[in-house]
């Protein structure tokens, strides 16, 4: 499932330079910065994020929407806040 790049991501976190597990930590810190139902995205070069963001969503009962790419090609992981 690829998110629409034009979709309204309420907040995008730039975690490009961060090693694991910082991208997931940033995600947790900023979850409540978006409203329930809104999208939150993490841009991360850390290869662990591809597994850890969906795993975090499963553990914290949030909705993993999918991965796409930022304009510079960096992987972007999109999450919907559900609680």
Partner 1 sequence: MTGPVAGRGDLDSASAVPLHPAARQVLLAALDRGYADPRRLHRAGREARLLLDNAREATSDALGVRADEVTFTPSGTHAVHLGLLGLVRGSRRGDLVVHPAVEHSAVHRAVEWGARGEAVPCDREGRVLADVLAQAATASEVGAVALQTANHEVGTLQPVGEVELPDDVPLFTDACASMGRLALPTGWAAAAGSAHKWGGPAGVGVLLVRKRARWRNPFPADDRADERSTGFENLPAALAAAAALQAVVAERDEVNARHHELIDVVRRRVAAEVPDVEVVGDPDRRLPHLVTFSCLYVDGEALVTELDRRGFGIASGSACTASTLAPSHVLEAMGVLTHGNVRLSLQRETTRSDVDAFCDALPGLVADLRGRVGL
Residues belonging to the active site: 20
Which residue in the set 19, 32, 33, 37 belongs to the binding site for partner 1 (CB under 8 A)?
A: 19
Q: Which one-letter DSSP state was computed for residue 38?
A: -
> How many CB atoms within 10 Å of residue 47?
10
- Judged by CB under 8 A, the stretch of 1-9, 11-19, 30-38, 74-82 that binds partner 1 is 11-19
- Judged by CB under 8 A, the stretch of 3-11, 35-43, 48-56, 72-80 that binds partner 1 is 48-56
* Cis previous bond, 21, omega within 30: yes
Which residue in the set 40, 42, 46, 76 belongs to the binding site for partner 1 (CB under 8 A)?
A: 46
Nearest to 16 by CA among 60, 69, 82, 66: 69
């Amino acid at each position: 499932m690829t998110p629409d790049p034009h979709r309204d991501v309420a907040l995008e976190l730039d975690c490009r330079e961060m090693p694991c597990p910082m991208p997931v930590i940033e995600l947790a810190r900023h979850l409540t910065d978006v409203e329930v139902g809104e999208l939150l995205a993490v841009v991360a070069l850390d290869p662990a994020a591809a597994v850890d963001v969906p795993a975090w969503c499963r553990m914290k009962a949030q909705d993993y929407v999918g991965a796409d790419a930022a304009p510079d090609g960096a992987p972007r992981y999109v999450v919907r806040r559900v609680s």
